[in-house]
């Protein structure tokens, strides 16, 4: 994918959720062709897909209908590590971030927690316990984690947390 602009999508190849093939696809919009296709093995569809360029490689984090998030190096077309396991229920949402200058993943779950993960070690570095399920995540300026919880939108101060952009330079 070096030097080209790509569009990344999560797909489900069947209307039967239980037997569906879940994939991440990177498309070259100029050539109108898929340049990377990865089978994720997520159950019941891809719930969340987030991207970031780290160390010159394009990474994706995906979630499905299970209590973990998976990391993918789209530059190599392979899963990166063993997955981010630790939630007790389905992970609804995930974003890529920088935490104190290190690449990170932030996940939110039905288990009423937000977890912050170090992308390189794939260890959970912080767990935030909440009164309700987490439905969405965003970073709203330096050090502010914004999330949906029940019918509320909450902004939480998280010093050292910043957004990672999907494309910091051409791939």
Residue 10 Cα distances to 25, 38, 135, angstroms: 6, 10, 18
Q: Is 18 helix (H, G, I), strand (E, B) or coil?
A: helix
What CA–CA distance (Å, rounded) separates 131 from 112? Answer: 6
**pLDDT tens digit at each of 171 positions of the chain:** 556 677 888 777 665 555 566 888 888 888 898 888 888 877 677 888 888 888 888 888 998 888 999 999 988 888 888 899 999 999 999 999 999 999 999 999 999 999 999 998 999 999 999 999 999 999 987 789 999 998 899 999 999 999 876 654 444
Q: What pLDDT score was predicted for residue 132?
A: 94
Per-residue confidence (pLDDT) for residue 55, from 0 to 100:
82
Residue 9: the pLDDT is 80
Supply the pLDDT for residue 171.
40
Tokens standing for residue 116: 């912050």
pLDDT value of residue 166: 61
Domains and CATH numbers, the chain: 45-163 (2.130.10.10)
Q: What is the pTM of this model?
A: 0.86
Neighbours of 129 (CB within 10 A): 8
User: Which pLDDT does position 85 carry in this prediction?
Assistant: 94
> For residue 90, what are its two tokens?
């389905």
């Amino acid at each position: 994918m070096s030097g080209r602009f790509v569009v990344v999508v999560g797909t489900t190849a069947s209307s039967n959720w239980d037997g569906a093939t879940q994939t991440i696809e990177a498309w070259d919009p100029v050539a109108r062709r898929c340049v990377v296709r990865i089978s994720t093995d997520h159950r019941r569809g891809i719930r969340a897909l987030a991207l970031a360029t780290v160390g010159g490689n394009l990474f994706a984090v995906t979630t499905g209908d299970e209590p973990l998030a998976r990391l993918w190096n789209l530059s190599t077309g392979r899963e990166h590590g063993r997955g981010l396991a630790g939630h007790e229920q389905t992970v609804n949402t995930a974003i890529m971030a920088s935490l104190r200058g290190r690449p990170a993943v932030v996940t939110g779950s039905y288990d009423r927690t937000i977890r912050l993960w170090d992308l390189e070690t794939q260890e959970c570095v912080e767990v935030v316990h909440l009164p309700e399920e987490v439905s969405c995540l965003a970073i709203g300026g330096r050090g502010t984690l914004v999330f949906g919880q029940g019918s509320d939108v909450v902004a939480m101060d998280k010093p050292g947390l910043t957004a990672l952009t999907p494309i910091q330079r051409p791939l």
